[in-house]
Amino acid sequence: MTRFVTRGCVDFATLVRPLLSGLSWADPQRRWSRQCPSSWLLLWALITSSTLVTGLGCQRSSPAVDSAKPLTNAGTHTVVAKDVAVVKDTVPVKDTLVVKDTVPAKDVVPTKDVVPTKDVVVAKDAVVAKDAVVAKDAVVAKPSAPGPAESKQPATLTTTGAQLFTQHCASCHGERGDGKGIAAAFLFPRPRDFTTGRFRLVSASNNVPTRDDIQAVLVRGMPGSAMPPWAHLSQSDRDALVDEVLRLRTEGVREAYIRQLKEDEGLSDEKIAASEVQKSIQDYVNNLSVPGEVRPVPTIGPPTAEAIARGKENYAKFVCISCHGETGRGDGVQAMNDDDGTPTRPRDFTLGIFKGNPDPASLYRRIAFGMPGTPMPASSAMTPEQMVDLVHYIRSLSTEEQRQAAVPKREKIVAQRVSSIPGSESAEAWSSVKSVSLRTTPLWWRADTSADFAVQAVHDGTTLAVRFSWLDATEDQQAWQSESFKDAVALELYQGDSEPFLGMGSLTAPVDVWFWDADRQNGQLAVEKLHPNAVTDVYPFSEAAVTSAELTRAGARLADQPDISLPARAVGNQIVPRNAGSGGSSLTAGGPRTVTFRPPQSQLVQAKGTWKDGRWTVVMTRPLAVAASAGDRISLEPGGRASLAFALWDGGHRDRNGQKSITIWQDFELER
């Protein structure tokens, strides 16, 4: 058996473990050797011939993704390693995303240090890698009204609640409302299970949500989770969605109870159809799906220094500090779980991020009645007066500005017309262009996310340039090792009367994706730079004889290898960096897990970014007009409108794939 090392095998063992004999480290200086069987040519053929459907699962490393079923609407590309776009931990997965398969991981979960790792498709240095563009809820957009006011798109009387739910909600909450949507595995906390789960923000005595409770969540979203606000929808559309959520709840409770009667009591369908059993079922359903009396809240006056001081005493006396910490930073007990076993952690009051409304009456209800299904209990030991004082103290730990900033808002971004596009991302001309600040939300929640993300746009009648700027404490430009990830940003563009799902559009409403990542901008990285002390055997296609075991010998370096050794480069795989100086890529998507690179001739997006003083600044450019045959590639013109949304990947927090931060849809307009 011939023993040798190829860059095509580096970090590829987990994908073709039966074909590889393993990896061993010879010493602490990263001297290594890998043995491949004599069937290496078979492996090479596998690499060059196999294709992988791109999309939510085809990124550097992601939460549990399932993709056994082929995606008929998704493009394909060859998966390769390092020079061949190193693929690591590639695992075939199914179409059914079950959140319980997602393993919380480090630096990402509200429970301290958790990272989704199970069943992930990863491409080391692949553009669709951790930095990979979009995943669940990738960011997209459509022209809707700015701010939390009514949508400028008219409510369609023919649109039912079920249709709206399918369009906006089912990808996360599932078509049946059971919290098992196609994108659910990319979200932490999990999407709510409407059928049997317990609603958190309730005002009724039996903890069943009222229409107003659900409406409030639609308008404001749930800060501290991936649930965005839907205030841009018309009132009639939101009412229809409330009807659908309540219908799913009722049907889910009924189905669960009937299943229980069959399994626990052995009742047949005939017995269940009996009138007395049907009445029992209806009583049970009503108890869990019809809200009881709304619990009253006492009059809460303005905060005073005395009330806040009393509230601080109550905070310690009634052991709020055991979970939320002495200073309210959520640093008390950390090992906490919801009723369904999902890890959770106490809220950090100093950030001003409250899942429900932070107004005094809403906070009073959460203190008095708890949050069903969570470790937050009802406070039966306190008097109403003590709870009012506690409300004032909790609110004193954050500012109104913080509390309002926690809610993503829809803004209007205008591309100013200029005589010429600024020459670089740091050009002085950008100082006169209006900057729009947007709130980003991590889909895999972490408390230390930054709200500092700014967007500017200009065009000269033929070219559009979009400039992004955001805080990032670490410059993650290369995915040097399997545990390292790179920084990236993406823009999604959509035109149409009704925006598709926020996460990568849909089959009938595809989106145009512009993507920049630091690694691609820097070009392909040779293995010898990663592992300068590597020891290697013969490369069969570039060496006739081996004179030493070091990479310094002739014929062993990446530059010496012919295309037959680097099949991904040879076939033009878009994942492989091209040393072109641009970190930009053009992609398309027609729903979660369908993100696909456009062919080389359609790669029109150019992008360049710089990191300085803890801040990334990136500029993307693309011609306004594209060929009519471009299909879902969106052509723009002066005076035109579209919708935009954005996504950020922070390599320092191990972001990749669906683990990222996103904005909601934003309105976009080009000056004439």
pLDDT at residue number 154: 43
Name the DSSP class of 185: G
Q: Which residue has the higher pLDDT, 561 or 40?
A: 561
pLDDT at residue number 58: 34
Residue 553 pLDDT level (bands cut at 50, 70, 90): confident
pLDDT at residue number 56: 30
Q: Which two tokens stand for residue 259?
A: 């299943």
430, 418 contact by CB (below 8 A): no
Mean pLDDT, rounded, for 332-339? 88
Query: How far is residue 2's CA from residue 541's CA, in Å, rounded to a whole number?
Result: 14
Q: Which residue has the higher pLDDT, 526 or 356?
A: 356
Q: Is 14 exposed, middle or buried (0-12, 13-18, 19+ CB in 10 A)?
A: middle
194, 205 contact by CB (below 8 A): no
492, 645 contact by CB (below 8 A): yes
Strand 453-459 relative to strand 412-417, pairing? parallel
pLDDT at 27 over 50: no
pLDDT at 179 over 80: yes
pLDDT at residue number 574: 79
For 606, phi then psi, to 5°, come to -110, 140
Percent composition of the chain: helix, strand, coil (DSSP 3-state, to 5): 25, 20, 55
Query: How far is residue 528's CA from residue 536's CA, in Å, rounded to a whole number?
Result: 10
Which residues sit opposite 619 in a β-bridge? 467, 608
Mean pLDDT, rounded, for 606-612? 95
Sign of CA dihedral 398, 399, 400, 401: negative
Residue 329's contacts (CB-CB under 8 Å, 6 or more residues apart) are 348, 349, 350
Q: Which residue has the tokens 């800060």?
A: 223
**How many CB atoms are closer than 10 A to CB 427?**
12
Give the chain's mean pLDDT.
78
Query: How far is residue 526's CA from residue 532's CA, in Å, rounded to a whole number?
Result: 10
Peptide bond into 189 cis (omega under 30): yes
Q: Which two tokens stand for residue 278?
A: 């049907």
pTM of the model: 0.75
pLDDT at residue number 115: 36
How far apart, in Å, are the Cα atoms of 657 and each of 95, 130, 480?
16, 5, 17
SS (H, E, C) 417-442: ECCCCCCCCCCHHHHHCCCEEECCEE
Q: Provide the CB-side half-sphere exposure for 332 (13 A, CA).
A: 19
Residue 530 pLDDT level (bands cut at 50, 70, 90): confident
Lowest mean pLDDT among 21-35, 442-456, 526-540, 613-627: 21-35
Query: How far is residue 540's CA from residue 11's CA, in Å, rounded to a whole number?
Result: 20
pLDDT at 606 over 60: yes
pLDDT at 132 over 80: no
Helix locations, 301-359, DSSP H: 305-317, 321-324
Mean pLDDT, rounded, for 531-554? 77
Query: How far is residue 440's CA from residue 565's CA, in Å, rounded to a whole number?
Result: 42
pLDDT at 277 over 60: yes
Residues in the chain: 672
pLDDT at 492 over 60: yes
Query: How far is residue 492's CA from residue 632's CA, in Å, rounded to a whole number?
Result: 12
Biggest CA-to-CA distance, the chain: 89
pLDDT at residue number 136: 34
Q: Which two tokens stand for residue 55?
A: 């999309």
Query: How far is residue 669's CA from residue 422's CA, in Å, rounded to a whole number?
Result: 19
Q: What is the pLDDT of residues 387-436, one digit of tens each?
A: 999 999 999 999 999 999 999 999 999 999 999 999 999 999 999 999 99
First to last CA, the chain: 69
pLDDT at residue number 527: 67
532, 551 contact by CB (below 8 A): yes
Question: Which of 209, 281, 220, 211 has its CA nearest to residue 251?
Answer: 281
Helix locations, 208-234, DSSP H: 211-220
Query: How far is residue 457's CA from residue 420's CA, in Å, rounded to a whole number?
Result: 12
646, 453 contact by CB (below 8 A): yes
pLDDT at 609 over 80: yes
